Structure 1
Amino acid sequence: MSTAPALPDKPKRRGLLYGLIAAVVVIAVVIVAIVLGTRDDSTSTSASGGEARTVKIGVADKSLPYWTTYTELAESKLGVTVELVNFSDYTLPNPALSQGELDLNQFQHIQYLANYNATADDDLQPIGATAVYPLPLYSLTAKSAAELPADAQVAIPNDAINEARGLLVLQQAGLVTLKDGGTAFSTTNDIESSKVKVTTVAADQTASALQSGSVAAAIVNNNYATAAKLSDENIIVKDDPTAAAAAPYVNIFAARKADVDDETYLDLAALWHDPAVQEVFLQDNPSAVVQDTPAADLQAETVKVEADAKAAQGK
């Protein structure tokens, strides 16, 4: 009995299948590598393992060393990347904050913030205190206010609040007399008598006016005095940062009203008081009086001062 010829074996497909799987794996690896290689660095992880948050803070003294300590601690302790944005013009940081270009700012005191809110019909709020700085009158030629020659040129800042505070310092020095004793909203129009010629210039120009010799004395805010390397030995009079009248002049972290309860922002305001930050801060600002006032108290003070500002503006 004859048998049918055997059919050929079916081709083995195992090798082909393994080849396809290997190719898929290679393609997947390449895709992952491409994705990782092109990932935006802004998605870096925080110290706690989550995605890092970047917070922009407007300041007027970015070059001072304490900010380096502060930003390093923000990264290591809070997992927050702080981006400092420096301003030389005091009129710019509040509009930048209001318009969302900044998340916070830290350059002003309550009196300045309240006057800004009243003028601009805004509602920025303090969320943490830093310090009260004395406002000094500097001279490179006179050792005291009494040594200033008759009709000497004296420069003061031209923004409303620092102008008023500067005039009060000049009155304290016996150089001018202000109507009704002066207020936190006095202007040069309120000068009733004067032993000097008072001129107003932009706050960031008072130090250069003094150093160029165009004025005999000048009111210079702390950050500009530090940048200009003016010495405490050149101070001929200053107000008292510990006095009760100095309460509205405590400097603050400011935020938009909608963000006053943001935990990250509150943590950043509190971080300013870390001992490591304070050690460096006080090296550059030995005359500053550090304040750690609760946010609710700062906001209540702002409401009060803002009402005074509106009344002074006739609103």
Structure 2
Amino acid sequence: MRKLGVFTALTFAAGLLAGCSGNAETTELSEEKLVVGVTSGPHEQIMEVVSEVAKEDGLEIELKVFTDYVLPNTALSEGDLDVNSYQHKPFLEAFNEDHGTTLVPGATTILNPMGVYSNEYDSIEKLPKGSTFGLPNDPTNGARALFILEEAGIITLKEGTEETASVFDVEENPQELEFIELEAAQIPKQLSELDAAAINTNWAIEAGLNTLEDSILLESSDSPYVNHIVVREENKDDAVLEKLNAAYQSDKVKAFIEEEFDGSVLPIW
């Protein structure tokens, strides 16, 4: 069994946050143009198609692409974005609580089922005792990964901690997995140094992994971690969002998702 090397999490959040201009005051969103934040990968690809549909209805979408999960919410709360589209509700709720923000979910978009991957083992049951297991280091996705392991009977979590679980809530770990918490975007790059890891679909696809074919364990399709379009609370009823929602939940976008991602990303409408 391989030993885990030294991991260096490349976190540029502090510098990037310093560069955000922000707007102290926000007003009703423009009905002609929206600045939309997405994470790179599937969310970016899908929103590019959404922008084509929206343009036919007179709405221009300017995309801002991010490579982490925190900055799109920070930029939205500070007024540098009008909308973002990349996150599920548990993550949003945790962000609001931690940062004192009042961002709200709008229309549902997609489900990116989280998978467990390994370069060496073709089944979760084949992981030997003491295996190193990579987890996202943000609380909600870390909890999500642990819950997947619990559903598969690999670990047992303290009762009632499923949506908030951390490695400290693991009650039973018969395989003695060694949990390594890493920045979600970095996990695919570190997979060769781990025995297995839980990877969010967008980062898996970006790394060339096929969710259905390459994962050794996959999140169930009835997961609560459905993604949403997110806005500032004061803009939740702005008329332009109806245009955005209609463009996103259109037949053209649904067909693109089903063809492009072949079941790795699921449209939820």
TM-score with structure 2 setting the length: 0.82
2:221 corresponds in structure 1 to 241
2:21 corresponds in structure 1 to none
Give the whole-Å Cα distance in 2 for the aligned partners of 1:173 and 1:199.
19
1:217 corresponds in structure 2 to 196
Give the whole-Å Cα distance in 2 for the aligned partners of 1:239 and 1:66.
21
Give the whole-Å Cα distance in 2 for the aligned partners of 1:56 and 1:274.
20
Q: Does 1:261 align with 2:240?
A: no
SS of the residue corresponding to residue 82 of structure 1 reads strand
Deviations 1:51-100 (A, max 9, x none): 98221111013575433322122112x21211111111101111110000
Q: CA deviation at 1:118?
A: 1.6
Of 54, 78, 95 in structure 2, the residue corresponding to residue 74 of structure 1 is 54
Deviations 1:84-138 (A, max 9, x none): 1111110111111000000000000111111111222211111211122221111
2:100 corresponds in structure 1 to 121
Of 74, 77, 81 in structure 2, the residue corresponding to residue 98 of structure 1 is 77
Report the more deviating stretch, 56-65 or 227-236. Answer: 56-65
Report the more deviating stretch, 109-118 or 277-286. Answer: 277-286
Gaps of 5+ in 2: 1-29
Quick one: structure 1 residues 84 and 92, their matched pair in 2 at CA, closer, same or farther if it must change by over 3 Å?
A: same
Alignment of 1:1-315 (within 5 A): 53-61=32-40, 65-76=45-56, 78-180=57-159, 182-194=161-173, 195=175, 196-210=177-191, 213-231=192-210, 232-242=212-222, 246-247=223-224, 249-285=225-261, 286-292=263-269
Which structure: larger Rg?
1
Aligned partners of 2:41 and 2:202 also within 8 Å: no
Q: Which amino acid in the other structure matches residue 80 of structure 2?
A: E
Aligned partners of 1:62 and 1:86 also within 8 Å: no
Give the whole-Å Cα distance in 2 for the aligned partners of 1:256 and 1:270.
19
SS of the residue corresponding to residue 240 of structure 1 reads coil
Aligned partners of 2:112 and 2:202 also within 8 Å: no
The structure showing larger relative contact order (alpha-carbon pairs under 8 Å, at least 6 residues apart) is: 2
Q: CA deviation at 1:181?
A: 6.3
Give the whole-Å Cα distance in 1 for the aligned partners of 2:169 and 2:209.
29
Quick one: structure 1 residues 274 and 255, their matched pair in 2 at CA, closer, same or farther if it must change by over 3 Å?
A: same
2:12 corresponds in structure 1 to none
Aligned partners of 2:41 and 2:206 also within 8 Å: no
| Structure whose residues are more often helix by fraction | 1
Deviations 1:246-296 (A, max 9, x none): 23x11000001111111112210221111111111122331434223xxxx
Quick one: structure 1 residues 282 and 158, their matched pair in 2 at CA, closer, same or farther if it must change by over 3 Å?
A: same
TM-score with structure 1 setting the length: 0.70
Give the length in aligned residue pairs: 235
Give the whole-Å Cα distance in 1 for the aligned partners of 2:169 and 2:135.
14
CA root-mean-square deviation: 1.8
Quick one: structure 1 residues 62 and 266, their matched pair in 2 at CA, closer, same or farther if it must change by over 3 Å?
A: farther
